[in-house]
Amino acid sequence: MTVERVILIAIWIVCIIIIPIKIPKHRTREAVLLFLSTQMVAWIMSLLLVEWQAIANPIREFPAASGSNFTNNYIFFPMVSTLFALYYPNRNSGVIKFFYHLRVVLCLAIYLTLVSSFTEILKYVHFNIVLHTVLLWLVLNAVRTYVEWFYQRKIQKEG
């Protein structure tokens, strides 16, 4: 088994273990909406980047079906996005929010750098790590804002 396959299997195991540990039971519905919304955006973004030949995924789970990597785009990134939004410091100062963003984006950038440098899971063709990280940051905040809006509307209707 190659290093790439071990990494992909490890991501699945870690994500499956994190779900019952880090997602509070009273916020399960919100977590499901966050996860599915991020999957939808990541799917479109990934397919476009692969189609435009901005990135390549030489090693992927379903090579005949798509050029995108299933584990990174449909499991790993949605899990990161879900945890990002669930634990977002809404009531804290702008400085704390800034460092929260910085921490998550830096972790994603480090992961992407390591994966693109040392494995065949992700290769940048006409794209780079900075643009990819900015794009992921935009997705994180767009999905978080959407779910906050969605639940705010629902609470106002019930009240």
- Among 22-26, 31-35, 65-69, 135-139, whose mean pLDDT is lowest? 65-69
Phi, psi of 12 (to 5 degrees): -60, -45
How many Cα atoms are found within 13 Å in the side-chain-facing hemisphere of 101? 17
The span from the CA of 54 to the CA of 14, in Å, is 28
The span from the CA of 139 to the CA of 137, in Å, is 5
pLDDT digits (tens, 9 = 90+) for 6-41: 999 999 999 999 999 999 999 999 999 999 999 999
Categorize the per-residue pLDDT at 156 as very low, low, confident or very high, splitting at 50, 70 and 90: low
- Among 12-26, 50-64, 89-103, 105-119, whose mean pLDDT is lowest? 50-64
Phi, psi of 124 (to 5 degrees): -90, 125
Residue 65, pLDDT score: 80
The span from the CA of 77 to the CA of 134, in Å, is 14
Residue 157, pLDDT score: 54
Burial 24-43 (b: 16+ CB within 10 A, else e): eeeeeebbebbbebbbebbb
